[in-house]
Amino acid sequence: MTCTKQTSRLRGLLFSVPALLCSASVLATGHQCALSLSAGQAPVTGALQQAIDRCSTQGGGTVTLPAGVWVSGPLMLKSHVTLHLAAGSRLTSTGNPADFTAAFISQPLQPREALIIATHVRDVAITGPGTVDGRGQHGWWPMATDARNHLKRGDTQWFARHWKDVPPANGMPRPWLIEFDHVRDGKLQNVNIINSPMWNVVLRDSRNIVMSHSTVTNPPDAPNTDGVDVVSSQNVQLRDLTLSTGDDDISIKSGLATTGKAPASRDITIEDCNIGNGHGISVGSETANGIGAVTVRNIRFRGTANGIRVKSGRDRGSEIGPLSAENIVMTGVKVPLVITDSYGGNGGYSRQSLSAISPEPVSRYTPFIHDISVNHLKASGAGMAGMISGLPEAPLQNISLRNITISSVLGMQSRYVQGTLHNVKITTDQHPLTLQQGPGSHWKKS
């Protein structure tokens, strides 16, 4: 095939578009920036990137990836461009670690740290019903599993030698799959997202983002494969999602202490979602810049490790709240409700939350968790009903549990908390006390 030029019009502007890689061409007609590709195993990174760039330059539009399996390296999404994955299309990573850079929440965006990156742009979208496949199983998961096994054996020095200044809780740094960084007005809709090397969808320092009618799927043993991470972002809506992953299904964060000052995450709504494997909906643990105004409603959990989990630690801190969760149904969830600022170490917390904790001075990174309201939660087949654990220097404040029904093996433990209980019914198999209270536990019944 020989390279040719095609001429087209967009918004009345005449321009020439060179054929891409001699096997693809971009036709801009109105707001449709169509992409024609030749089938085969060769990566289409250059052709697809040129289509996105040209579309943005000429005022924006939609670049459509047709049905087929298309292999690509890292891509940059530009302002006013929608990347549409048509029915039957699969945008697949090369799966080659040499093509990518490892991402880490505590450092600014680096080129090639995700398969699709949108950074410092506005009015962008990824739409389906096609699929984005990160091929994490080929180049990354085995290595990350080995790193996790070292940590399980307590070998933190091995981890520190390989990844200096990375907390073990982060796991082995790897590329993310889709990242919106400093994006204004972004959308992900009707997309199937699978097999990310690490975090699947990351929204960092962004505003006015909607993700809806999409699925995120990673195997349950794929390490640190969060479904959606909202980091220092505002006005985010996550709705009508189906999530099953190897870590937090949804996580809201605002950064580590080492990151420096960053915006808080706030005004976030999570609704009408189905959650399977994974660690549930988590607020934290990286909360150094604060998290506020989170609404969670109409969520169904099945077989998840945790349900609603608010987690921070003395080194992670700041203000966390308010959070409202309502109309929650859980089946076979190990721990339906966790609210703790005793999170730390290698990323875990003790299930024994009744003993006293020695107080420490309040610092910038002392977490203050407050105004957490859970209403109409029903859970069956749980292992432990819940763990609510504050700190003596920063007790949990204004925790409201209303219309809660939980059947579990063990009951709920609490310490250093001030809250209200209304119509809370916990039935247990192995302990006569459904609510076990440690030091500083103060509940009012209404």
The answer to whether residue 16 scores a pLDDT higher than 70 is: no
To which CATH superfamily is domain 21-195 assigned? Single-stranded right-handed beta-helix, Pectin lyase-like (2.160.20.10)
pLDDT of residue 185: 98
pLDDT of residue 169: 82
Instruction: Choose among 39, 89, 35, 43: nearest CA to 62.
Output: 35
Q: What is the pLDDT of residues 235-268, one digit of tens each?
A: 999 999 999 999 999 999 998 877 778 899 999 9
Q: What is the pLDDT of residues 342-388, one digit of tens each?
A: 776 444 556 677 889 999 999 988 999 999 999 999 999 999 999 99
Q: Strand, coil or helix: what is 57?
A: helix
- CB 394: neighbour CB atoms within 10 A? 20
pLDDT > 90 in the chain, percent: 78
Q: What is the pLDDT of residues 164-203, one digit of tens each?
A: 888 888 899 999 999 999 999 999 999 999 999 999 999 9
pLDDT of residue 344: 62
Cβ–Cβ < 8 Å for 312, 320: yes
79 or 164, greater pLDDT: 79
Tokens of 105: 């929440």
User: What are the start-end ranges of the E strands in 11-103?
Assistant: 13-18, 25-29, 32-36, 61-65, 68-72, 75-76, 81-85, 89-93
Distance CA 224, CA 278 (A): 10
pLDDT of residue 342: 79
pLDDT of residue 3: 26
pLDDT of residue 24: 35
Cβ–Cβ < 8 Å for 196, 225: yes
Q: Which of the 8 DSSP states describes residue 430?
A: S
Q: Which of the 8 DSSP states describes residue 19?
A: P
Q: What is the pLDDT of residues 282-298, one digit of tens each?
A: 998 889 999 999 999 99
Q: Strand, coil or helix: what is 213?
A: strand
Mean pLDDT of 70-89: 97
Mean pLDDT of 299-312: 97
Instruction: Choose among 224, 216, 156: nearest CA to 188.
Output: 216
Residue 17 confidence class, pLDDT cut points 50, 70, 90: very low
Q: What is the pLDDT of residues 90-133, one digit of tens each?
A: 999 999 999 999 999 988 999 999 999 999 999 999 999 999 99
Residue 7 confidence class, pLDDT cut points 50, 70, 90: very low
Distance CA 101, CA 110 (A): 7
The answer to whether residue 415 scores a pLDDT higher than 90 is: yes
Q: What is the pLDDT of residues 43-59, one digit of tens each?
A: 999 999 999 999 999 99
Q: Enumerate the domain spans of the chain.
A: 21-195, 248-446
The partner residues of 212 in beta bridges, in order of sequence, read 189, 239
Mean pLDDT of 314-326: 93
Cβ–Cβ < 8 Å for 81, 60: yes
- Same fold yes or no, 21-195 and 248-446: yes
Report residue 315: phi and psi, to 5°.
Answer: -100, 10
Mean pLDDT of 209-233: 97
* pTM: predicted TM-score of the whole model, two decimal places: 0.91
pLDDT of residue 382: 97
To which CATH superfamily is domain 248-446 assigned? Single-stranded right-handed beta-helix, Pectin lyase-like (2.160.20.10)
